[in-house]
């Protein structure tokens, strides 16, 4: 994840397993709030089969797409999007994991911000922070993780 120039960028690799289904329909949620603008620049790619994934439907609060497993029992899907920030807050939805009724085996997150921003609130405090010349990077790592809340970042510009 990255906060930069009034936008929140999200890029994630998601590992999906099947118990026999050749494909599944997934709903990928987006945060909706008066402080968040529209989601755009959506890109979905099946890294396992090296093929782009077309989404079936896009609404303000979600995206629907089909994950094809083909001959594989596990696939890796890349999902990327950009959301305009209308205020000093960004959000990454995690609570939808409860709907799967199964925790993430492994969940790793990072947030990159420019040095002219300061995070004033983390809904989930980071495990580690690395400060570089031009930016700051926050890291989270969880095993057997069932999120209770979304990741919310409130910030201010220096």
Domain count for the chain, please give it: 1
pTM here is: 0.92
CB-hemisphere CA count at 13 Å for 145? Answer: 16
DSSP 154: E
Residue 71: left (phi > 0), alpha (psi -120 to 50), or beta? alpha
Q: What is the pLDDT of residue 19?
A: 83
| pLDDT tens-digit readout, 40-59 | 999 999 999 999 999 999 99
Q: What is the pLDDT of residue 59?
A: 93
Average pLDDT, rounded, for the chain:
94
- Whichever domain contains 34, its CATH number is 2.60.40.3680
Helix (H) or strand (E) holding 75: strand 74-85
* pLDDT more than 70, % of the chain: 98
Q: What is the pLDDT of residue 103?
A: 86
Query: Using 50, 70 and 90 to split pLDDT, how confident is the model at 102?
Result: confident
| Whole-Å CA distances, 96 to 28, 92, 100, 152 | 9, 11, 8, 14
Q: What is the pLDDT of residue 18?
A: 87
The whole domain housing 23 covers 2-157
Terminus-to-terminus CA distance in the chain, angstroms?
A: 20
């Amino acid at each position: 994840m990255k906060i930069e120039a009034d936008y929140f960028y999200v890029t994630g690799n998601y590992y999906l397993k099947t118990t026999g289904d050749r494909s599944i329909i997934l709903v990928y949620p987006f945060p909706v709030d008066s402080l968040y603008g529209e989601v755009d620049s959506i890109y979905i790619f099946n890294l396992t089969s090296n093929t782009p994934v077309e989404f079936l439907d896009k609404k303000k609060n979600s995206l629907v797409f089909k994950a094809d497993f083909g001959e594989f029992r596990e696939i890796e899907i890349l999902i990327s999007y950009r959301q305009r920030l209308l205020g000093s807050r960004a959000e990454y939805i995690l609570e939808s994991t409860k709907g799967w009724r199964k925790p993430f085996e492994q969940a790793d997150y990072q947030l990159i911000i420019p040095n002219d921003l300061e995070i004033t609130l983390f809904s989930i405090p980071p495990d580690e922070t690395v400060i570089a010349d031009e930016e700051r990077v926050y890291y989270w790592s969880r095993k057997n993780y069932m999120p209770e809340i979304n990741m919310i970042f409130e910030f201010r510009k220096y």
